Amino acid sequence: MNIVEIILLAVVTFIFAIDQFSLTEIIYRPIIACPIIGLVLGDLHTGLVVGGTYELMMIGNMPVGGAQPPNAVLGSVVAMIFAIKARMNIDAALGACMIFATFGQYVVTLTFTVMSGLMAKADEAAIKASPAGIVKVNLISCLILGSLFALIAVIAYVGGVAMSGTLEQLSEKASWFMGGLSAAGGMMRFVGFAILLKIMLANDMWGYLFAGFVCALVIGNIEATASACLLLVAFLGVAVAINDFRVNGLKKQVEEGGFSDGI
């Protein structure tokens, strides 16, 4: 148990919680948040691995109206604690963290419910042309949300450290259970990407999708290029996108006498 780690974890979680709806709306994403948490907990490498994997899991999850997806902030924090402090397998940690990520939905919904009663104060401030009143309501919202998330992060840290021995024994005596968590965590990254494809994939894009898989398999199995597989495939994707833009974008500009970005 490290007091400095607890304090720093609470601080970064507070910031990530606010960043979901304010500030940059970027640093709370797992691919950025997990390496930061990894630095706090003393294991940057695990932070990079968990962050990249968890980002794939959450990439297609977006709020629709009042419905909130599993919360990326609490999921990131708990996954990192389980992976580093409880010494769980990364896939098992990702599978177990989804329970807390789902719980995070209710924390956000609770905050929104409480704040709905305070919106009248913001309306009054707007009528009176009082920026200070509106800022006060926003600060209250940030304080409630950030404090709840920071408290849960500290509880998860203390619990993860306390249960590390128990979890290690569980992995030895009930390997089937930990194996199930690992399988679930390993599967979730593909589920997350499938959700994104369901939203974005058009019929004329299937060829590019299959070509990308083939490129990844070929490049990934060549020893000289395997370590940079994703980067090389990404460059190929950029090249295809630029070519498509030049061919189809300029053609449309000529035909229609104007320009559209196609979105």
Q: How far apart are CA 263 and CA 247, in angstroms?
A: 16
CB atoms within 10 A of CB 84: 24
Altogether, the residues listed in the chain come to a count of: 263
pTM higher than 0.75: no
pLDDT tens column, 64-109: 666 667 788 888 898 898 888 878 888 888 878 888 888 888 888 8
Q: What is the pLDDT of residue 258?
A: 55
- pLDDT tens, position by position, for the chain (263 residues)? 688 989 999 999 999 989 888 878 888 888 899 999 999 988 899 889 888 888 887 776 676 666 667 788 888 898 898 888 878 888 888 878 888 888 888 888 888 888 888 888 888 888 888 888 888 888 888 888 889 889 988 988 888 777 666 666 655 666 656 566 666 666 666 666 676 677 676 777 778 878 888 888 899 888 888 888 888 988 998 998 888 888 776 666 666 555 555 55
Q: How far apart are CA 120 and CA 140, in angstroms?
A: 14
Q: What is the pLDDT of residue 11?
A: 93
Q: Which residues contact 18 (CB under 8 A, 6 or more apart)?
A: 142, 145, 146
CB atoms within 10 A of CB 46: 20
Q: Dihedrals φ, ψ of 25, to 5°?
A: 60, 30
Q: What is the pLDDT of residue 36?
A: 93
Q: How far apart are CA 17 and CA 198, in angstroms?
A: 28
Work out the angle at residue 187's Cα, subtended by the Cα atoms of residues 181 and 189, and round it to the nearest 5 degrees: 115
